[in-house]
Amino acid sequence: MTLQWHARASARQGPSARDLGTLFGRCSAGDGCAREVIIVAFLPYAHHLAHRYRGRGEPIEDLHQAASVGLIKAVDRYEPDRGCSFVAFAKPTILGEVRRHFRDRTWPMHVPRSVQDRARLVARAQEDLRARSRSDPTIEVMAGHLGLEPGEVAEARCALNSYRPRSLDATYAAEDGQQLALTETVGELDPEYERIETVAGCVQALLRTGAA
């Protein structure tokens, strides 16, 4: 039985415990083909686990990819001698990678689902149009390309900015060309506000006294 034939059979029904033990033995010895057979055999299982998170705002293709990464990590970390079945070992690793995807890639701020979907369309269109013209497309150009209103594109671009808020340590070029950190642009409490409130309170008290 060749590994190529075994890869096709495993992809259909999964390897038996005996065959899986043989494959992991070869994998531990550095057999890359055996490693690939195991990964291909369990990809449907990884994708099945990823479908638990379908409908939560992320494309299913991205969830499949995250689950596949988790599967590969599980294959590389699995030690058959410990007595745990591979499926039992791989499940938390795969689910952990999918959860990590949500933690690292999804919106840190609340954005309506419709705006999220439009933002993804705008992001892809911006990349495509930039590749064609070698310059950043305008809102009007993207609106025409996607069949949207300019206001919808502008809203989507604002949403994309909230997808990854900039660090306060990030810098940008000011009007005079100087590089400033965002922390330098954050306002501080003006101590004069307290003095104004005190004066206003005294004036009101005097007015009330005079009226009496």
> What is the maximum span of the chain, computed from C-alpha positions, in angstroms?
106
From 18-27, 149-158, 203-212, the region with the lowest mean pLDDT: 203-212
| Sequence spans of domains, the chain | 3-105
Which of 15, 13, 12 has its CA nearest to residue 1? 15
Distance, CA of 34 to CA of 21 (rounded, Å): 11
User: Is the pTM value of this prediction over 0.75?
Assistant: no
Say if residue 167's pLDDT is above 60.
no
- Give the pLDDT of residue 105: 67
Q: pLDDT for 51-104, tens place per residue? A: 988 866 678 898 999 999 999 999 999 988 888 888 999 999 999 999 888 776
The H-assigned helical ranges of 78-171 are 86-105, 113-133, 139-146, 150-163
> What dotted CATH number matches 3-105?
1.20.120.1810
How does residue 34 score in pLDDT terms, banded at 50, 70 and 90?
confident
Q: pLDDT for 92-125, tens place per residue? A: 999 999 988 877 666 556 667 787 788 878 888 8
